[in-house]
Amino acid sequence: MDHVAIMNPRLKLVDKILSGEKKIESRWSKNKSAPWGKVSAGDKIYFKDAGKPVTAMAEVENVKELTDMNKAIEIFGSDEWATGKNYCVLVFLKRPEWVVPFRINKKGFGSAAAWLCVESIAKIRVQ
């Protein structure tokens, strides 16, 4: 399965993934929402800053889904995102690489969706 993770451009997270500085993508939520239950080792995640094209890709090495926020904080190393959250998905990344930039069509995912799950990136890739 392929995924698109939409990132906050002010935090420069896509650059940190590409440099190897950021090795875990975390998603914290009040409810079980994507990528909870939808991402697995071997999947590909494409990364884009909000409002920009996709510019990076990495393979999923491992996934931890946690409901114990103290354990999630212990593994992740920060409690910055945990306040008021009940669920945490930690996605361990490997082999990050730059990709030739391309746009996607988010129709059907909702305007505020920050994680998209698709059978193949080709289905939402705009030529």
Q: What is the DSSP string of the chain?
A: -EEEEEE-GGGTHHHHHHHTS--EEEEEESS--TTTTT--TT-EEEEEETTS-EEEEEEEEEEEEES-HHHHHHHHS--TTTTT--EEEEEEEEEEEEEEEEEE--TTS-TT--EEEES-GGGTEE-
**Tens digits of residue pLDDT in 111-126:** 889 999 999 999 999 9
Do 59 and 93 touch, CB atoms closer than 8 A? yes
pLDDT tens across 47-87, in order? 999 999 999 999 999 999 999 999 999 998 888 889 999 99
CA–CA distances in Å: residue 13 to residues 8, 25, 30, 96, 100: 7, 9, 22, 12, 18
Tell me the domain boundaries of the chain: 2-126
Neighbours of 27 (CB within 10 A): 20
pLDDT at 110 over 90: no
Residue type, 35: P
Q: Is the pLDDT of residue 42 over 90?
A: yes
Q: Does domain 2-126 have CATH number 3.30.70.1350?
A: no
- In degrees and rounded to multiples of 5, residue 54 shows phi and psi of -65, 135
